[in-house]
Amino acid sequence: MQAFTGVASRLPVSRSPADIHVFCDMDGVLCDFTALAKRISGVESPPPRRLWSSIATYRKSHEGFYTDLNWLGGGIELLKGLEATNLSILTGCPQGGWGGMEKYLWMQRNVVASEEFMFDGIEWLDHANSRPGPADVGVGVGDDVDGKRLNLITCKSKLKQDFCTPGDVLIDDREDIGRRWEDAGGVFIHYKGDELEGKAAEQALEQLVAMKLII
């Protein structure tokens, strides 16, 4: 990851750090998509057709694909560091409408049910088959709890930038998504969890500290 060079200076003057929203991806950031994809496809980097065929076959005999992902090295540390921010999990889903529920269940079991975190429930907004806008607010599911809820937004990966207000931060492993986020006025932190594991979490959190989003 490139050294941090003063992202805070790019924040809009009309927004204070307390108003900035931090969005964090799941696959390749919090959880290890690559390891399970490699195991079920039998190859290091499966082409898309083989990958999704392998996932479809896997789901026939398992509860789900995303539900079975393990934490990526550094993922727990990253999410714990993000608890104090204005945080939403923003994650892309494949076509077919099945990915959102699997990711919701993953968050319930690995985050809400864990004593590692302070979250007591999930506020889930599903845009996997739509795009955000005043006339289409998506499908919302809120856990009936009194404590702190974690925001989960599922959407098409190519539409993540639609959730960006200038100055908002996205932590994601895909540079193409990051470029669209920056074009929308946001700040992109390129997360290289598959390469750096725990070091990637440390570097991302250091950047947020420099932006005064983590004190």
Q: What is the pLDDT along the chain (215 residues), one digit of tens a residue?
A: 333 233 434 555 567 888 999 999 999 999 999 999 999 999 998 999 999 999 999 999 999 999 999 999 999 999 999 999 999 999 999 988 899 999 999 999 999 999 999 999 999 998 876 555 433 344 455 566 667 899 999 999 999 999 999 999 999 999 999 999 999 999 999 999 877 767 999 999 999 999 999 87
Domains of the chain from N-terminus onward: 15-32+70-210 (3.40.50.1000), 33-68 (no CATH)
pLDDT at 2: 32
Residue 30: which residues within 8 A CB-CB, separation 6 or more?
Answer: 24, 71, 72, 75, 78, 79, 89
Q: What is the pLDDT of residue 4?
A: 26
| CB proximity list for 120: less than 8 A, separation 6 or greater | 112, 143, 145, 146, 147, 148, 149
Q: What is the pLDDT of residue 60?
A: 96
**Which residues have CB under 8 Å from 123's CB, separation 6+?**
140, 141, 142, 143, 149, 150, 151, 152
Q: Which residues pair with 24 in a beta bridge?
A: 89, 171
Alpha helices in 7-84 (DSSP H): 33-41, 48-60, 75-82
pLDDT on residue 12: 53
Q: What is the pLDDT of residue 184?
A: 96
In the prediction, which pLDDT does 131 show? Answer: 52
Q: How many Å apart are CA 59 and CA 55, to the nearest integer?
A: 6
Q: Which residue has the tokens 């990966």?
A: 157
As to burial, measured by CB atoms within 10 angstroms (0-12 exposed, 13-18 middle, 19+ buried), residue 175 is exposed
